């Protein structure tokens, strides 16, 4: 139910041949990453999932050296810095008493992205640490420097203890999707259309996550398709305290569900749980101010084969063009891929629910737009706004 991308991510960063791969092998107790005296052995981020006692499963990311050279080396370096945006905790590795601009840049990037970091002096058995340098670094950044030897098994325990302390609890304690707006024993009705964009033989992840969350909160989940909704509502006793619908049938469902029953969508539920909810609310009315020639960036957290009924690539862009009456250009970026152009080229950014990414990854994904003053919205909120049910769709969250 919970894929790798939803687990906390811990990245290891530093220069080439500084012991990053040896470090990840030490932590996992396995030969995950290739270790060599040849600088630049790690060429792309390497991921490995393992369990940390007291935290649960986490994803480790071993990255290429950020001091790589040449055209290919610069591409590897960019990949490493891009990986920094996806982690909940960064281990910044240095050795041989070399600490300079590169390490300072990594720390500065962590600060900008609000990512906690741990400083690790590796190969301490080979290069005796200069205690004065270590003290200066610790004083400057207000943190300790872990002195690690990958040949010392005690180093593994020291690292894991430090990571347990440094990793934000919010990274591994999932936030309930509906916990603050539903009460035990209540019935929640879910409206789930089945069309060509639905995965064969199963439900989409936001629907599955919502059902599990309802059950975890000791409530009753009832599921139906939109064409059965009206008849089913007449038969339900007691009536549901909340209806959650797929955004693409928002208008149809809102006309059927009485005003005394709270209504929202799966995408809006995720938007509230993942953070940036109020930034979305503030940015969504930009849909009223679009002009001919504007570019809108559509961000999809997952990668999938688009169909003619795809919500993000077909239905929502068509709805925006019809609503605004403007000639709008839409660009789509899937996964956590870096953008090809400056974020300021876009009039606004519209993000999917983000069911397959962590809250930190989602926040970092949108932070550039927020910093640049580019309005952000969410699939469900945008659809609710253009169908005239925006206030109703967010009311259940604003009341809590």
**Which pLDDT belongs to residue 32?**
53
The mean predicted confidence, pLDDT, of the chain is 86
**Which pLDDT belongs to residue 16?**
83
Helices 379-386 and 390-398: crossing angle in degrees, nearest 10, is 130
**Which pLDDT belongs to residue 33?**
47
**Which pLDDT belongs to residue 74?**
83
What is the chain's percent helix, strand, coil content, to nearest 5? 40, 20, 40
Which residues of the chain are under the pLDDT cut of 70? 1-5, 29-44, 195-201, 303-309, 336, 399-400
Specify the residue for token string 């369990």. Answer: 51
**Which pLDDT belongs to residue 277?**
92
**Which pLDDT belongs to residue 40?**
46
**Cα(293)–Cα(343) distance, rounded to whole angstroms?**
16
Residue 181 is classified by DSSP as T
**Which pLDDT belongs to residue 233?**
93
Of 20, 160, 7, 171, nearest to 92 by C-alpha is: 20
**Which pLDDT belongs to residue 345?**
95
Of 102, 143, 97, 95, nearest to 122 by C-alpha is: 95
**Cα(281)–Cα(279) distance, rounded to whole angstroms?**
5
Domains and CATH numbers, the chain: 4-172 (3.40.50.300), 187-270+392-398 (3.40.50.11420), 280-386 (3.40.50.11410)
**Cα(297)–Cα(384) distance, rounded to whole angstroms?**
18
Q: For residue range 39-57, what is the model confidence (pLDDT) as tens digits?
A: 444 455 778 888 888 888 8
Largest Cα–Cα separation, the chain: 76
**Cα(382)–Cα(323) distance, rounded to whole angstroms?**
11
**Which pLDDT belongs to residue 57?**
87
Query: Model's pTM, two decimal places?
Result: 0.77
**Cα(384)–Cα(230) distance, rounded to whole angstroms?**
20
**Which pLDDT belongs to residue 392?**
94
**Which pLDDT belongs to residue 29?**
67
**Cα(138)–Cα(133) distance, rounded to whole angstroms?**
9
225-253 core/surface letters (b: 16 or more CB in 10 A; e: else) = ebeebeebbeeeeeebbbbbbbbbbbbbb
**Which pLDDT belongs to residue 304?**
53
């Amino acid at each position: 139910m919970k894929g790798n991308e939803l687990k906390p991510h811990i990245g290891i960063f530093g220069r080439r041949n500084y012991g990053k791969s040896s470090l990840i092998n030490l932590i996992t107790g396995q030969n995950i990453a290739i270790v060599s005296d040849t600088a630049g052995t790690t060429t792309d981020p390497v991921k490995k999932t393992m369990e940390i006692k007291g935290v649960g499963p986490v994803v480790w990311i071993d990255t290429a050296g950020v001091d790589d050279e040449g055209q290919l080396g610069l591409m590897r370096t960019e990949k490493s810095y891009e990986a920094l945006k996806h982690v909940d905790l960064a281990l910044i590795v240095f050795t041989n008493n070399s600490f300079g601009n590169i390490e300072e840049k990594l720390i500065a990037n962590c600060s900008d992205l609000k990512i906690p970091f741990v400083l690790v002096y590796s190969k301490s058995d080979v290069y005796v640490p200069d205690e004065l340098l270590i003290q200066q670094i610790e004083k400057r950044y207000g943190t300790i420097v872990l002195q690690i030897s990958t040949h010392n098994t005690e180093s593994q325990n020291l690292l894991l203890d430090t990571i347990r302390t440094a990793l934000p609890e919010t990274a591994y304690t999932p936030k309930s999707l509906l916990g603050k707006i539903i009460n035990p024993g209540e019935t929640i009705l879910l409206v789930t259309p089945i069309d060509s964009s639905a995965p064969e033989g199963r439900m989409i992840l936001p629907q599955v996550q919502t059902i599990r969350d309802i059950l975890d909160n000791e409530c009753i989940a009832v599921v139906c398709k939109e064409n059965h909704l009206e008849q089913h509502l007449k038969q339900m006793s007691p009536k549901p305290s909340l209806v959650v619908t797929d955004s693409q049938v928002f208008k149809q469902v809102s006309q059927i569900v009485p005003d005394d029953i709270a209504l929202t969508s799966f995408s809006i539920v995720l938007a509230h749980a993942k953070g940036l909810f109020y930034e979305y609310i503030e940015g969504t009315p930009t849909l009223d101010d679009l002009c001919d020639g504007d570019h809108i960036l559509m961000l999809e957290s997952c990668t999938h084969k688009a169909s003619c009924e795809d919500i993000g690539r077909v239905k929502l862009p068509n709805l925006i063009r019809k609503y605004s009456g403007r000639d709008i250009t839409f660009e789509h970026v899937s996964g956590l891929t870096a953008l090809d152009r400056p974020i300021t080229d876009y009039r606004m950014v519209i993000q999917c629910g983000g069911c397959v990414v962590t809250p930190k990854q989602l926040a970092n994904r949108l932070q550039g737009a927020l910093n640049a003053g580019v309005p952000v919205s969410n699939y469900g909120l945008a659809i609710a706004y253009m169908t005239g049910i925006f206030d109703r769709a967010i009311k259940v969250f604003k009341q809590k």
